[in-house]
Structure 1
Amino acid sequence: MRALIIEPSPTYQRILSRMLESYDFDITFVDTATAGFRAMSAHHFQFICVAMYLADLTGIEFCQQVRADDQAKHLPIFIVTSESNPELLSSALAAGATDIIRKDDLPRLEEALHSLIPLGPFRYNISGKALYLEDSLTVAKATDAKLKRLGLSMDHAFSIKQALELLQHNKYDLIMTDIVLQDNETGIDFIQQLRSEPRFLQTPILAVTSLESINRRILALQSGANDYISKPVLDEELFARINNLISANRLVDQLTRERQRLLELATKDHLTGLYNRHFMGEVAKRRFAEARKQELPLSLLVIDIDHFKQVNDQHGHHIGDKVLKRIAEALRQQFAEHDCIARFGGEEFVILLHQQDLAMATDKAYQLCQLLYQLQPEGITTSVSIGVTSLSSAHEEFFDEVFARADKALYQAKQNGRNQVVTV
């Protein structure tokens, strides 16, 4: 089966690709509607996923043009968007979109695919490990055999105590639990205990309940189960529900990692891993407001590596980069976690010292000046000049004003011969 993905974002291309891996699709990726039409003229697709906004057309306009072709009237077309405007979404459906999938609800796309593809374990490509809390060994062995068909290994626990012991030493991609257990235990108790611990908040839980026990099913979901399946368990339903739970959880993990990566790109300096100038400004706004409100001391160091241009000229920029990274690491080791260290650009660093007055900041600057002179990164003797100042308690100041004062002190240190501290 062929799928056409029209998506300009490389990030969402990767996400959609991984989502469709288990469905045996031959995937074609393009980033414009024009390229999409070209691909459709060369191949027959069973499924199309298109972004709402492309460089040449909108997803709505793309749908309209596809639906104008009688041979493509029934071709499934899903529009992926972050839009929530009801009128826009209605226009998309009117244009012929099969469904609208929000970017924050991509698991819904998998649910839609289930109606397009014949059931069968061959289409699942799951790997990982499951834990099943079940007091019947016969049922557990039968379930273990079924999970092996999906590519999952399974540990079996007879009691909540045994299940918790296994959880101490193993990481599971899925937890299954029967609701009615021996010795007056219930799966509800087990689910509630798991969800009370932060490390199990995101682990998918599948409750196994009796067909007639509607109240138990509701209670299981209220207690934190992600889904339930009724006895007698049908193989294909079990496969579909497990696949949905594990795939959705892995997608959430992937999106979380991607979000973290984007956050680091937005807040960190790519070379040194320290915060960047923009993030320092954001932190300073909060810290200055807190210091004024609570009448706390706050100090600022502005640090510049002396004669750094000579390092680049004599040893090359690749060595200069190593020197910067080594100095950045030394700064990171010398300051507390609540102090904010940023590379402001080039060879300049700024440090916001949390709850430290001018005297304390000056002492720290002198220690730092001596330490960095002795550091000799890449065998090169380097020194720094440092300007030090503190937030005034006499009148309201903002970061730009305090930074300008410390920067002026730094300039004075340079004028006085470098490798020294000037306090204002």
Structure 2
Amino acid sequence: MTARVLIVDDIPVNVKLLEARLLAEYFEVVTASSGAAAIEICRSQDIDIVLLDVMMPEMDGFECCQLLKADAATAHIPVVMVTALDQPSDRVRGLEAGADDFLTKPVDDVQLMARVKSLVRLKLLSDELRARAKTSHQIALEDATQTEFGVPVDGGRILVIDTHRERAERVKSFLSDSHMVNILTEPADAVFQMAGGEFELAIVSMVLDGFDPLRICSQIRTVEQARSIPIILVAEEQDRPQIVKALDLGVNDFIMRPIERHELSARVKTQIRRQRYTVELRESLNSTMAMAVIDELTGLYNRRYFERHLAMVLARAQQQDRDMTLMLLDIDYFKPVNDTFGHDVGDAVLKEFATRLQRNIRGVDLACRYGGEEFVVVMPDTDMRQALGVAERVRSAMAEQGFAAGPDQTINITVSAGLATNDRENDTPESVLKRADVALYRAKRTGRNRVVSDAA
């Protein structure tokens, strides 16, 4: 994962230490020595995350963070405050100013990298949703530019998972004035509870009798309805190594015991605000998208939308020196399906193919129906190795289970795929698509039901 990180600190030594750690992990680093300079950089450059010192002259980190989060142009950038302050009141003040998290000096390298990667992943998903809204040209401007701070945060639906009811009741007592809180003392039922789509946030104790809390979190992440629901861990000091692993698994935040009421409340508000903002973006995008850009049969975006979106994603990748991969897919031997079973069955196969395709790509990937039995997937921030993994998963999903042709009959359907990346200096949407098409033709010619890259 690559990202552009802005380090803001008025002490050069601190900047150099953080810069060295991030450069060693191949992050791109930009630096600023004041809050005002940081705001200007965020407005004028593509910044993925800000590491912000609190104690600075003229404008401290709290004020700087508040200004960044109040501006629609910069509100979506995650901010991690790096500070020597370690009082709960300082963390609460930072979270209320809009900070996404805190790192206490001296900064632990493992926690730093886990936090940066976790927040960058969330930003990439948010960026992709915003880009799709712009591509449609029919999303109202206020919807596309609304900041998270315009989203109400009260009345959150929260599930507290803890085998000790007394501990869970204490957490509930801290939150029940503003939110609706349910307690689950049987972690084995967590997946079932979250699958109902009733909750907006899960709070999971790291001390679960007879259960691995990280296993519970990973199981929640496998449920389609709960895949994007934020998770906060409640941990003990000795749990820090597991916390790092949890952040890598997709857990959103953590709080240490003993729990401070106001800090918990602030962290919960941050997660619910971000969750509701993402849901609003998705709903706005879905409800206002004109049928002119949606394929009526499959519900995927159509070729017209794809061409505009590809141009924008490629331009952004080139400006920011990032990877992008295109996957072109063609259903093998599709004409005999229509000829043998009729167009009604052919249409049903196309619908099911689109459903499986959506299920097996990632949240940031955009699937479109290119025409007939051809489909295309735009994969931002994806190199060839990652793309091959996704493409193989898609290919397997089609080949391993038959498609229904009637009540008691199935058809074996396979797909061929061609991949191309933006690895040429003067690439255009047409040139990348052409290379993906050539790779797809090679997959067809060499036996079908396979994935071929343009580098092969």
Q: Which has the larger radius of gyration?
A: 1
What TM-score bracket applies, with the shorter chain setting the length?
0.3 to 0.5
What is the TM-score when the length of structure 2 is the normalising length?
Answer: 0.36
Q: Which has the higher contact order (CA 8 A, sep 6+)?
A: 2
